[in-house]
Structure 1
């Protein structure tokens, strides 16, 4: 997920939950639990890693076809 033209970003709650270690031994910070459009150019993103309010153009998303997850 990419937010282009970010004008402001406010991140709270980081560090509250420590990263888990996944099967490959890498840090796993969790996923996006909710993405909410607050108004025309503001979005709220929630996850185990905290809450982000971002002012930006609408996000775009690309799925990597080579990822085997």
Structure 2
């Protein structure tokens, strides 16, 4: 119902996007509307776990540490 609200539609708060896996989806647009610099959604949120290794390495986890976490089903 919220996606069909006249005010939501008038403000173009719902945008259609082509998702690489799901196909065409509806997504929420930015609530910030600037006349000279319009906003645009540039990418989708990562899949669950997609960046886990990169994040753990940035926190100084070693490959061995990460493997242990995976083996223990912590990540």
Q: TM-score, normalised by structure 2?
A: 0.21
Say which one has the larger Rg. Answer: 2
- Structure with bigger strand share is 1
- Determine which structure has the larger helix proportion and give its number: 2
Greater relative contact order structure (CA < 8 Å, 6+ sep) = 1
